[in-house]
Each structure stands twice: as structure tokens, then as C-alpha cells.
Amino acid sequence: MLKRVLVLRPEGVEPALVLAGRIADACEQAGVEVRVAGAWGHVPAEALAGAELIICAGGDGTVLRAARLAVPRPLPILGVNMGRLGFLTSLNRDAFFDQFDRIIGGEWEVEERLMVSATVTEGEAAGRSFNGLNDIVLSRRSPGRPVYVELAVDGDRVALYRCDGMIVATPTGSTGYSLSAGGPILAPVERHLVVTPVSAHLAIGRSLVLEPSSTVTLSVRSDEGAILTVDGQEDLRLAGGSRVSLSASEHAACFALLDPPSSFFGHLAERLEVQLSSAMSNGD
């Protein structure tokens, strides 16, 4: 049986606060030590130390935050959604409590997902490093103006892009921003990164699927600089002339699976259909 878990929840979302409280109560009643922390605030190191499982009471955004928090620890993550089907949350509230004994009993398998690593190698922010589960994006800094980005793969120059941005996505992130920009869908257990330009002008407008060992270099050629964004949640302003090196991370995101994964593409179709229906009902 598990001895200690961390429950991560988004801030200011009442249903998530209630769900996190219910999960914490259930853990305590079962004799499992539990810590509850907000996903967007400072998570104390002691909350992660000794934890055997991170339970995310929220949506995909909370899971993305958990994956980065776990680095460099290979902590399994279990996402519990609050009614809206997500790509990264495997259980709804009812299913979580129905399967609670199995969860705290450690009766699950671990699936590893590739993460992407980025290091700023030149410029004012040189030395800053990041890991992302979905994607790392280099985008324009000024609305209405494109950014000029030079792309190199394994040291070989590919092209100079005049674009809105460049996405470097993992297989997990291939169903997100990269997909909306015309990128391909990869099964989540693949080991390839995908480079997708956003609204590229007079350049290679298609995505590139890289070899697992490849390194991507993005050089900012715009005087006004650019913005580096990790998983859509962390931003770093980069000056013109900055250079970023990206590759498959040495760290993996670990997901706790109660049952063997079924068809990825079947689940994908279901999730995309749910998202489309939700957007239509909201008038988006």
C-alpha cells in the first residue's frame, strides 16, 4: 500500500478544491499520509519528497504542471477530471473513488511519456533550462509582427522562417497546439519530437518529425526578440540574437494506469469529438 501521496489542485476552482478535499480525506482514512498543494503556487520540496504518487484533481493543465514539478523524480501521476474529458486525465471522480483501493494499493502500471528539454545557449537568458510534457514554443513578441527564426537540426541549417512561431512538440503534445497548426498526430509512446511552424511565410510550411536523438536549434533573428513558452504555462522573454537548443529530455513523465491502455486513436477520436461538441455548445 502507498505510504504518501501528493494531491495537486488548481487555484480558485471550487469543484477542484472540493474534489481535492475528498481525496485527501479518503487517503487519511486509509492511513496514507497526504499533502495537498496548489498547482500554481510554490510547492514545497518536502511535499514532493517521499511521495509515491501525484494525484491531480483538475484538468490537463494541472497534469502538465505536475509533470514538470516531478522532474527529476520519476513520480507516477494520476489525473482525475471533474467531468470534462481530457487528454491527460484518465479517471472521472466516480471512477477514482470506485477504484480507490486499487490506487492506494499500487495496483497500476507506469507508462512513460517523452518530455522535451530546452536550454537557452546564447543571449541574456543563457543558461536557463526547461522541461515540457506537451511542447515548447518560440513565438513572436509583438502582436501583428512576425518573428524571424532560424531552424537547424543537428547543426545543419534547415531554413529561416518568417512566422508567428515555432512549436517543438512531444508525441503527447502532438494533439495540442501543434495539431491546430497543421502538425501530425503521434502515438504518445513514440520517441520523436515534432517541429511545426505557425503561419510560416515563404519557407517550409510543413512539420518535421525528428529522429529520437536529434537536437533542434532555434535562433531568434528578430531585433524585438521572442517569447519562449513551456506547456502554455511558463513564459520567458528572449532578446534578439538568442539561441535555444531543444531535444528529447533525459526525464520522462510517468503516468499511473489502472488498466492496459486501449486504442489511442479511439480515445483520441472520442476526446476530439467531445471538445468539438463543447465548443459548438458554447458558441465558439
The predicted model scores a pTM of 0.92
pLDDT digits (tens, 9 = 90+) for 165-205: 999 999 999 999 999 999 999 999 999 999 999 999 876 78
pLDDT digits (tens, 9 = 90+) for 94-138: 999 999 999 999 999 999 999 999 999 999 999 999 999 999 999
121 shares its domain with 80: no
Interatomic CA distance for residues 26 and 7, integer angstroms: 12
Instruction: Quote the percentage of the chain above a pLDDT of 90.
Output: 77
Task: Give the pLDDT confidence score for residue 231 in this predicted structure.
Answer: 98
Interatomic CA distance for residues 260 and 38, integer angstroms: 30
104 shares its domain with 8: yes
Asked whether residue 284 carries a pLDDT value surpassing 50, the answer given is no
126 shares its domain with 234: yes
Asked whether residue 280 carries a pLDDT value surpassing 60, the answer given is no
Q: How far is CA 247 from CA 15, 150, 194, 231, 253, in A?
A: 37, 16, 10, 15, 15
Q: Which residues are catalytic?
A: 60
CATH of the domain at 45: 3.40.50.10330
221 shares its domain with 267: no
Look at the chain and report how many structural domains it folds into. Answer: 2
Alpha helices per DSSP H over 1-110: 14-29, 45-48, 60-70, 93-98, 100-104
179 shares its domain with 145: yes
Interatomic CA distance for residues 250 and 145, integer angstroms: 35
| Burial bucket for residue 162 (CB in 10 Å: 0-12, 13-18, 19+) | middle
164 shares its domain with 58: no
- Name the band, by pLDDT with cuts 50, 70 and 90, for residue 282: low
CATH of the domain at 226: 2.60.200.30
132 shares its domain with 241: yes
The highest-confidence range among 8-17, 39-48, 68-77, by mean pLDDT, is: 68-77
Cell output for 125: 537568458
- Name the band, by pLDDT with cuts 50, 70 and 90, for residue 279: low
Instruction: Calculate mean pLDDT across residues 206-215.
Output: 97
46 shares its domain with 77: yes
pLDDT digits (tens, 9 = 90+) for 81-96: 876 667 898 899 999 9
188 shares its domain with 274: no
Residue 252 DSSP code: E
235 shares its domain with 142: yes
Range of the domain at 230: 115-251
pLDDT digits (tens, 9 = 90+) for 249-263: 999 999 999 987 667
Residue 122 DSSP code: E
243 shares its domain with 149: yes
51 shares its domain with 120: no
Task: Please give the mean pLDDT across all residues of the chain.
Answer: 92
Residue 192 DSSP code: -
